[in-house]
Structure formats: C-alpha cells, structure tokens
C-alpha cells in the first residue's frame, strides 16, 4: 500500500511543541492530521456566516407580489413597533457590496396577547379595522452604500446597520 509523503519544516522554536503533540497523538502524522482537522473545522465555521447565499424575498408592487432573488448574506433584522403595527427591516450585504433592505409592515400580533383580560388593544377601534389585519408594504430597496440609505431610513436602523458592518461576522470567544 502506497502512502503519500509530505515534508513539514519546523522552526527551532516550535520543535518542543511538535514533539509534545507527537507524544500525545501517538505519532507525528496523527498529531499533524488532528491539528489540520481542527484548523479546517474552525475555518469552515468562521466562513459560514460570511458566505454569500441565494436570498429570496417577496416584494409587493400594488396588488402583485413577486419574488426577488439575489446573492448576499444577512446582516441583521430590526423591528420598529408603531402603535398596532410592526415594521421589520431585514438588511443584507449583496455580492456586489451593496446594501439591500427588505421592509415589511405587519400587524403587531404581540399587542393582542396580554396576561390581563383587560387588554386595551381589544377596545381600540383600529384593531378591528380591515387594514390593520392585513400585511402592508413589502419592499426591497438597494443602496450602493450606507450613506445613500441615510435619508430613507430611521436613525436607529442606520446605527444598527453601521454596527453590523463594522463588527466581525464571527466572534471567537475564549471562554
């Protein structure tokens, strides 16, 4: 049986580490393979969140709902509650490094649940308005950069996007 041969050149300062690893693993080959497996596994986990994937979103243009598809990665999801409605911003970084923002306006169903029988939402006439029960806007806007989006987004959403863009996609914790 033929086995591949690979040469590894070790700095003098790392010889003791290699000897210890070989003793622990039973052989130098076993130690190197175990170390390479750990390295590749960690690398794959770190690149998992930064990997671009196919994103599909429903977008409404008047009465017509279409599906938009692009390549990107999700940066964040942010919810703004406004009375009986909730506006959800799903923000993506596209393959061309643009900012894609999917906005969806829905009823805030959490407002209907309350530990109290005397939930004032039930008495609010807007709760029974047909418009409240339906999904509102579902849009997709694409901006070349965050500065271009600044005029069209609430400040708290902009700050969340700015933070998501500056923070690493994966944070390794030594805990």
CB 35 within 8 Å of CB 21: yes
Residue ranges per domain, the chain?
Answer: 12-48, 53-166
Q: What is the mean pLDDT of the chain?
A: 83
Q: 167 pLDDT band (50/70/90 cuts)?
A: confident
Tens of pLDDT, residues 23-71:
988 988 888 888 888 888 877 766 665 678 899 999 988 888 899 999 9
What pLDDT score does 114 carry?
Answer: 61
pTM higher than 0.85, yes or no? no
């Amino acid at each position: 049986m033929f086995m591949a041969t690979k040469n590894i050149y070790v700095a003098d300062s790392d010889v003791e580490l290699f000897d210890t690893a070989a003793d622990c693993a039973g052989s130098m080959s076993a130690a190197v393979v175990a170390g390479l497996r750990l390295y590749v596994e960690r690398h794959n986990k770190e690149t998992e969140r930064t990997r671009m994937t196919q994103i599909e979103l429903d977008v409404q243009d008047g009465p017509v709902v279409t599906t938009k598809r692009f390549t990107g990665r999700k940066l964040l999801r942010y919810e703004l509650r406004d009375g009986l409605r909730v506006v959800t911003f799903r923000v993506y970084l596209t393959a061309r490094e643009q900012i894609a923002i999917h906005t969806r306006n829905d009823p805030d169903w959490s407002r209907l649940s309350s530990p109290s029988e005397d939930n004032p939402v039930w008495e609010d006439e807007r709760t029974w308005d047909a418009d409240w029960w339906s999904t509102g806007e579902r849009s997709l806007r694409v901006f070349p950069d965050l500065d271009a989006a600044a005029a069209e987004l609430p400040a708290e959403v902009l700050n969340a996007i700015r933070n998501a863009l500056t923070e690493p996609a994966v944070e390794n914790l030594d805990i």
